[in-house]
Amino acid sequence: MNQNVIEVNQSSFQQHVIQRSHQAPVIVDFWAPWCGPCRMIGPVLEKLAREYNGRFTLAKVNADHNPQLSAQFGIRGIPAVKAFHNGRVVDEFVGAQPEPMIRQFIQRLTANVAPPSPPRPQTSQPVNDPAARLQIARQLLREGKGCNARTQLQDFPAGAEQKSAQALLHLADFLCEAARGFANTGANDLDIAYRQAAQAVERGENATALYNLLVILNHDQQYRNGQIPKVMLGLFELLGEDDPLTQAYRQPYAHAMA
């Protein structure tokens, strides 16, 4: 097994599944050595864990050895596969499934989870190299650190990266305002959606964020001085044009702006 495939039991479940799922999704495979269907899907899950390289962790639980866990999560048949994110079950399936179905299950779970990034310099000051500066800002935004990202993106030098930096700066401003307590927002539906969108970005739940931003945009393009379209474009820039969320929300965004 590699670092993305781990064995978990009753005593380690809280740390390696519940707590770990706040950083990246964890897929739990309840199995047993005597279970034929388990032996069919186990290698598929392990292969995909290696392929996704850190975007999720596969935790294998021997159901026979951990009856309390099986009872806690209502396991009545195996294999039983449950996906955890932010400490709770968000998706699941029971029984042997073909690889394309398992792959779709994982794609749904990881759609808004960025792949691991290389280590970045531990500094709050802008670095000299624009490409490195932009990379640091992207990672800070993925971590929900809008004010720190803004430090990297303000007064960005002219060049090939400037357009991307400008788009990301609007997202950084949005997150920085959220970190400071949402000044000048009230209790109407659009204000609530605005706060929920910022909180979702902070947690890395970009699908939830884009949904709430689109709700606001469909009701009022000029909400908060027309900030919402800029924030959505910033999220698209952060995710990348090939990301499934960008592709899913580009057309609704364009329709709302028409």
Q: How far apart are CA 120 and CA 172, in angstroms?
A: 18
Instruction: Please count the other Cβ atoms lying within 10 Å of the Cβ belonging to residue 67.
Output: 11
Active centre residues (catalytic): 35, 38
Phi-psi region of 90 (alpha: psi -120 to 50; beta: other; left: phi over 0): alpha
Bridge partners of 89? 84
Instruction: Please count the other Cβ atoms lying within 10 Å of the Cβ belonging to residue 239.
Output: 20
Phi, psi angle pair for 120, to nearest 5°: -115, 155
> In what helix (H) or strand (E) does residue 92 lie, and over which residues does it extend?
strand 88-94
SS3 121: coil
Phi, psi angle pair for 206, to nearest 5°: -70, -25
Residues in the chain, overall count: 258
Angle, helices 244-257/206-219, rounded to nearest 10 degrees: 10
Instruction: Please count the other Cβ atoms lying within 10 Å of the Cβ belonging to residue 115.
Output: 10
Helix, strand, coil percent content, the chain, rounded in steps of 5 = 55, 10, 35
User: Which residue is associated with the tokens 């691991």?
Assistant: 116
